Amino acid sequence: MSSSFLDNLRRENKAKENLQYDDGAFYYFSSALILLIVVPLAISVFQQLFGKRNKFIINKEVAPNLLGHNIQGVLEKKEKKSVINKALVYKILLAVFLVFLYSQVVGNSNQERELKGFDPYDILEIPKDINVTSDQELIKKQFKRLSIKYHPDRNPDDPAAATKFMLLTKAMECLKDEKSQENCESYGNPEGSGSFSIGIALPSFLLAKENRVPVLIVFFVFILIVIPYFVLSWYSEVSKYDLDGTLLDDKKIFVAYLNENLIVKNCPRGLALCLEFAPILSVPPSQRIDLATLHKELLEVIGKVPIEARIVKPHDLIHAYMMDLPIGPTLIEDTLFVLQTSPKLIEAMINFAFKVPRTRVQNGVKAFGLRCAMALIDFSQLFYQGLWQGDSALLQLSIFNKVMIEGLKKKGKKFPEFSHLVKDANKPRDPNLPVDDNLGGAIQELTHFPYMDIKAEVFVEDESDIRLGDIVTLKVTLTRLNQNHKDTSFKYLKSNRYPFNEKEKWYIFIGDENRNIVLMSEIAVFGDKTCEKKFLFPADGQGEFALKVFVRSNGYLGLDYEQFVRFKVQDRGEKKKYEIHPEDLAIKNEPTFFEQLTMGAKGKENDSDEELEEEEETNDKKRTNESAAGKEQEIPKAKKKVD
């Protein structure tokens, strides 16, 4: 008989199921895998449906007054509409399918019963309390009767009979062998632990002959079509974006529009050209009246500006926000989209001007440089404060408006620079001193603006001077004097116009205004009271040098800092002799740990050697004295013999 014993071991309730391909473990593994996907997916759907929203709104003081509308209500209305979107529908459908699949897997796993062990008594249909030794005749008689009944020759067309006959033979052999009986009791089969094991493998339906072709088709479709499709879709989407989250094609717009002579009033057009505004470029019929009214009013303020027809909406909305022009209710949602999308684009434009000083174009080489970067930073500050070029920095304070500023100017009223006002507000004041009536209500508000101390120093690590060929370090340290270590409110820009949270950032750069170049640049974000940035460059020239350090905020007017750093580079001259610091020398001369361990043993050995030497010297002296005394005694004896 060619088949083996294990080929005929089956489940108790499934006579046709072979246990070489047990599906129980597969079902448990599959159900656990499905749960790993379903649980996070369900949490994501729940958060999207019932989670907290409006997290970008700074405070309720900005929302009701922006653009003449209650944008808090507009956002809430918009979010209610946007909760059920295409992505959420896909998530729900996927979750329903996975839950259905999980129920099927669990249902099938519950049908898998316990394995029926190999029981020779049950197979031979004899009582379990029978004495195997004394009742051998009864066992043989029962085996003979059943083997005749289930013999394959008498049942040629019955596979179950052949299996039963094989089990009868194995059961009879088991009862004759004590080792086989012990294996049955311990492992459930007469062949012991090494002959049978269960592990997670492919389910049996994948190995069935009738399923081979469908399984191969599904496998190839999944491997050659489904997976490549999703990977290529993901890659094609991701490859459109730069590391800063903006579209790579925006860089082409930056090259075409930005230039070294850029001025602030032209920045909105360059911003409106960015491809991120594509979703709002079309003008539905409901917006045409409001947009036409806004465009007409804007032309009266700034005059006719040549712009592309496709960017009229984002261009006009940016101007309306920064110039405090009325906006129709149908344009509020698109205005909020523009305001929320613009920050990353403005920062990308500034970084582009910093990192790409010039580029090659069709007509030659096009430069950007320091003036371009500074114009973009000026625009960024105006954007976050909702102001326009020429507006006073005092409008950053809530107690002032444009009408009040114009009235004070007509009266000849002059105010100190905004940075001086911030500095004075953060200093201790004598309560008896008079307070300017126009600034009395702004003292507390001024304390929320950054009051900083800026230090810049040039040095070479572990050197007292700078010599030709050294790597020079320029360290710029920003210290916020009006910030406590536990205070986190300064992480976000203070603005009475911009409705979303935006982190306060500082652009630190070294530039040459005469050559219009940016030498080095960094972006600083306060995580604590102090922020430090280091710039490294080689000292490749000899003489005295001066670097101009610029520190400019991304969102505050009148708080820019500029400082010259001067240093001298000396000739390399003779090779400098390095001297070891006395503390380092003392550490170097200290015994190592191993030497400290062995020092005691060496001391003991030295002591024992000295004692041996002293003992030998003492013995030598004794022997010398004894020999001398012996000679003195021998001399009188010799004299007596002579006499």
Give the pair of three-digit tokens for residue 460: 């070479």
Q: Which domain holds residue 465?
A: 446-575
Give the pair of three-digit tokens for residue 374: 């500074």
For residues 96 and 62, is the Cβ–Cβ distance under 8 A? no
pLDDT in tens, 25-66: 777 778 888 888 888 888 888 877 776 554 445 444 554 456
CA distance 178 to 174: 7
Numbers of helices and strands, H then E, in the chain: 20, 9
| Domain membership flag for residue 458 | yes
How many domains does the chain divide into?
4
What is the structure's pLDDT at 640? 45
CA distance 7 to 163: 9
What is the structure's pLDDT at 526? 86
Across 481-489, average pLDDT: 69
For residues 489 and 480, is the Cβ–Cβ distance under 8 A? no
pLDDT in tens, 296-321: 999 888 887 778 888 999 999 999 99
Report which of residues 376 and 19 the model is more confident about.
Answer: 376
Q: Does residue 567 share a domain with residue 474? A: yes
Q: Which of the four pLDDT bands, split at 50, 70 and 90, describes residue 474?
A: very high
- Domain boundary pick from 575, 610, 634: 575
- Domain boundary pick from 546, 575, 604: 575
The three-state DSSP-derived secondary structure of 554-614 is CCCCCCCEEEEEEEEEECCCCCCCCCCCHHHHHHHHCCCHHHHHHHHHHHHHHHHHHHHHH
What is the structure's pLDDT at 54? 46
Q: Which of the four pLDDT bands, split at 50, 70 and 90, describes residue 434?
A: very low
Report which of residues 573 and 356 the model is more confident about.
Answer: 356
What is the structure's pLDDT at 6? 47
What is the structure's pLDDT at 195? 47
| Domain membership flag for residue 399 | no
Q: Does residue 450 share a domain with residue 369? A: no
What is the structure's pLDDT at 188? 62
Q: Does residue 215 share a domain with residue 191? A: no
Q: Does residue 534 share a domain with residue 450? A: yes
What is the structure's pLDDT at 346? 96
Q: In this structure, is the dihedral angle defined by the CA atoms of residues 293, 297, 300 and 306, taken in order, positive or negative?
A: negative
| Domain membership flag for residue 580 | no
149-153, 488-492, 633-637 — which one is most confidently predicted on average? 149-153
Report which of residues 275 and 399 the model is more confident about.
Answer: 275
For residues 554 and 509, is the Cβ–Cβ distance under 8 A? no
pLDDT higher than 60, residue 603: no
What is the structure's pLDDT at 116? 56
Q: Does residue 285 share a domain with residue 221? A: no
CA distance 310 to 333: 18
| Domain membership flag for residue 426 | no
Q: Does residue 22 share a domain with residue 73? A: yes
- Which CATH number fits the domain that encloses residue 267? 1.10.3380.10
- Domain boundary pick from 575, 608, 625: 575
What is the structure's pLDDT at 33? 85
Q: Does residue 142 share a domain with residue 26? A: yes
What is the structure's pLDDT at 551? 96
pLDDT in tens, 66-88: 666 666 666 666 655 555 667 77
- Which CATH number fits the domain that encloses residue 484? 2.60.40.150
Across 503-524, average pLDDT: 92
Across 229-250, average pLDDT: 89
Side-chain-side CA neighbours of residue 516 (13 Å): 15
pLDDT in tens, 326-344: 888 889 889 989 998 999 9
| Domain membership flag for residue 19 | yes
pLDDT higher than 90, residue 372: yes
End-to-end CA distance of the chain: 130
Q: Does residue 255 share a domain with residue 179? A: no
Report which of residues 605 and 173 the model is more confident about.
Answer: 173
CA distance 504 to 555: 7
Count of CB atoms situated within 10 Å of the CB of 516: 18
Q: Does residue 152 share a domain with residue 35? A: yes
What is the structure's pLDDT at 553? 94
What is the structure's pLDDT at 475? 95
Across 536-555, average pLDDT: 92
Q: Which of the four pLDDT bands, split at 50, 70 and 90, describes residue 399?
A: confident
Q: Which of the four pLDDT bands, split at 50, 70 and 90, describes residue 524?
A: very high
| Domain membership flag for residue 626 | no
Q: Does residue 147 share a domain with residue 261? A: no
- Which CATH number fits the domain that encloses residue 160? 1.10.287.110
Who's near 586: CB < 8 A, 6+ residues apart?
none
CA distance 492 to 481: 17
Q: Does residue 484 share a domain with residue 368? A: no
| Domain membership flag for residue 423 | no
Q: What's the mean per-residue pLDDT of the chain?
A: 79
pLDDT higher than 60, residue 628: no
| Domain membership flag for residue 84 | yes
Q: Does residue 187 share a domain with residue 223? A: no
Give the pair of three-digit tokens for residue 61: 């003081």
Burial level of 540, CB count in 10 A (0-12/13-18/19+)? exposed
Rounded percentage of the chain residues whose pLDDT exceeds 90: 27
Across 169-175, average pLDDT: 80
